[in-house]
Amino acid sequence: MKETAVKKDTQDLLARYRKIRQHSETICRPLQTEDYVVQPIVDVSPPKWHLGHTTWFFETFILSPHFSGYKVFNTQYNFVFNSYYESVGARVVRTDRGNLSRPSVSDIYAYRAYVDQQMKDFLEKAVLSKQLYAVLELGLNHEQQHQELLLTDIKYILGHNPLFPAYSKQQKVVLSQEDKGYITLSEGIYEIGYNGTGFSFDNESGRHKKYLETFEIASSLVTNSEYLEFIKEGGYENFRYWHSEGWDWVKQQKAQAPLYWHLIEGSWKYYTFGGLTDIDPEQVVCHVNFYEASAFAAWKGMRLPLEEEWEAASGFFNWGERWEWTASAYLPYPRYTKEAGAIGEYNGKFMVNQMVLRGASIVTPKGHSRTSYRNFFHPRHQWQFSGIRLVR
Applying CB under 5 A, which residues contact Fe ion? 83
Give all strands (DSSP E) within the chain, no chain letters: 182-185, 188-192, 208-212, 215-218, 261-264, 267-272, 275-278, 323-329, 355-359, 375-377, 386-387
For residue 223, the SS3 value is strand
Nearer to Fe ion, 116 or 229 (CB): 116
Closest residue to Fe ion, based on beta-carbon distance:
83
Least distance from C-beta 347 to Fe ion, angstroms?
Answer: 11
Closest CA to 324 of 272, 257, 392, 375: 375
- How does strand 386-387 pair with strand 375-377? unpaired
Closest CA to 201 of 327, 351, 65, 308: 351
Nearer to Fe ion, 56 or 319 (CB): 56
Nearer to Fe ion, 54 or 205 (CB): 54
- Cβ atoms < 10 Å from Cβ of 149: 20
Least distance from C-beta 50 to Fe ion, angstroms?
Answer: 8
Q: Is the dihedral of CA 295, 303, 191, 195 positive or negative?
A: negative
Least distance from C-beta 199 to Fe ion, angstroms?
Answer: 16
Nearer to Fe ion, 83 or 147 (CB): 83
Least distance from C-beta 83 to Fe ion, angstroms?
Answer: 5
Q: What is the rounded distance in angstroms from the CA atom of residue 277 to the CA atom of residue 259?
A: 14
Least distance from C-beta 286 to Fe ion, angstroms?
Answer: 23
Least distance from C-beta 337 to Fe ion, angstroms?
Answer: 21
Nearer to Fe ion, 61 or 260 (CB): 61
Nearer to Fe ion, 78 or 272 (CB): 78
- Cβ atoms < 10 Å from Cβ of 178: 7
Omega of the bond leading into 103 within 30 degrees of 0 (cis) = yes
Query: Are 212 and 190 in contact, with CB atoms under 8 Å apart?
Result: yes
